[in-house]
């Protein structure tokens, strides 16, 4: 019953398709750590038709015009787009087609390196002191190889001022909306653990490897003192490789008090934890 209902299969043990093996091999040989962040090229499909990047400006202008009309109707959304980064997650429509071709059509998805949700939750429920956090803008912490950035061009208004004439820009990081981004980001997160294995305790390294579900970290330990040290250790490891853990939650007020207020989740910034409070962890209350 346990094997059937509660499988915790490690992604590395799953058989990979030929395409996934190709992408994984390419990531292993091409990943670099530059200026505080990992860099990976886009995983192009072999023999994919070249993108017509120099011909689709009119389509991009039409899409921007639709967004402009929406922003003019909604001042709150306009301010969130232009003045309060982090409040709105901007997703690039990499499936948008120009002459029957999109950016996602030319990219390989890559292997699914996401940990088993059942495994992450089962480990989270093991001990008394709960710890939850997530990686801030995880995809955007992975740089794109400079020679691939021309494929990530977009139009935007200078300083977010809609009445101005839009200008062309290039994204330098992996996108929300690209089919390959989840695999690239998960690979780099696990690469961080592997690169720093000798510098940090095994529990911290194994947590980065096994206790993340995409960008969400869910961990439990037996004592508050252990939790305080653990938070310091995992934050230090990930910071060295360009990742920031934020929005911390815990069922221990002492543990939360050891974390800087700006690093805590909004719901616990004031340390008003009581027996009636309830949070969701990976969809479970």
Residue range 44-81, pLDDT digits in tens: 999 887 786 667 888 999 999 999 999 889 988 888 88
Instruction: Give the pLDDT band of residue 15 (cuts 50, 70, 90).
Output: confident
pLDDT of residue 271: 53
Count the domains in the chain: 2
Distance from C-alpha of 271 to C-alpha of 248, rounded to nearest angstrom:
12
Same domain, 204 and 258: yes
- Please list, in sequence order, all residues whose beta carbon lies within 8 angstroms of the beta carbon of residue 109, skipping any fewer than 6 positions away: 19, 23, 179, 180, 183
CA distances from 203 to 168, 188, 218, 230 (A): 45, 19, 13, 8
Does 209 share its domain with 232? yes
Please check whether residue 153 lies inside any domain of the structure: yes
State whether 59 and 134 are in the same domain. no
Residue among 234, 37, 214 at smallest CA distance from 142? 37
Domain identity same for 155 and 259: no
User: Is the residue at 60 inside a domain?
Assistant: yes
* Residue position matching structure tokens 């960008």: 215
Write out the residue range of the structural domain in which residue 242 sits.
117-138+199-268
Q: Does 149 share its domain with 261? A: no
- What average pLDDT does the chain have? 88
Do 158 and 58 reside in the same domain of the chain?
yes
Query: Could you tell me if 211 and 150 lie in one domain?
Result: no
The pLDDT of residue 273 is above 70: no
pLDDT of 248: 94
Helical H segments across 85-196, by residue range: 117-124, 181-195
pLDDT at 9: 54
Q: What is the pTM of this model?
A: 0.87
Express as a percent the part of the chain with pLDDT over 90.
66
Residue 1 within any structural domain of the chain: no
Q: Quote the CA–CA distance of 127 and 43 in Å, as a whole number.
A: 40
Task: Assess whether 130 and 205 both reside in one domain.
Answer: yes
Average pLDDT over residues 125-152: 94
At 146 the pLDDT is: 95
Same domain, yes or no: 218 and 157: no
Task: Please compute the mean of the pLDDT values over residues 126-153 and round it to a whole number.
Answer: 94
Whether pLDDT at 6 is above 70 = no
């Amino acid at each position: 019953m346990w094997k059937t209902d509660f499988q915790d299969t490690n992604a590395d043990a799953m058989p990979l398709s030929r395409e996934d093996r190709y992408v994984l091999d390419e990531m292993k040989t091409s990943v670099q750590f530059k200026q505080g962040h990992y860099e990976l090229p886009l995983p192009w499909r072999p023999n994919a038709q070249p993108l017509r990047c120099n011909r689709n400006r009119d389509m991009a202008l039409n899409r921007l015009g639709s967004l402009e009309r929406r922003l003019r109707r909604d001042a709150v959304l306009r301010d969130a787009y232009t003045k309060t980064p982090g409040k709105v997650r901007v997703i690039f429509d990499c499936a948008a087609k120009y002459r029957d071709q999109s950016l996602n059509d030319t990219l390989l998805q890559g292997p699914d390196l996401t940990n088993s949700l059942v495994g992450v939750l089962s480990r989270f429920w093991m001990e008394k002191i709960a710890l939850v956090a997530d990686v801030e803008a995880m995809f955007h912490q992975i740089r794109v190889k400079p020679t691939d950035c021309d494929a990530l061009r977009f139009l935007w208004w200078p300083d977010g001022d809609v009445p101005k004439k839009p200008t062309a820009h290039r994204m330098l990081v992996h996108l929300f909306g690209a089919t390959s981004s989840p695999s690239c980001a998960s690979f780099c997160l696990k690469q961080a653990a592997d690169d720093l294995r000798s510098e940090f305790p095994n529990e911290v390294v194994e947590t980065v490897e096994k206790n993340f579900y995409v960008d969400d970290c869910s961990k439990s330990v037996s004592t508050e003192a252990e939790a305080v040290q653990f938070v310091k250790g995992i934050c230090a490891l990930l910071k060295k490789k360009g990742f920031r853990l934020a929005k911390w939650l815990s069922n221990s007020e002492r543990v939360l008090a050891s974390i800087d207020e700006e690093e805590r989740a909004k719901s616990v910034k004031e340390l008003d934890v009581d027996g009636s409070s309830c949070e969701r962890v990976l969809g479970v209350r």
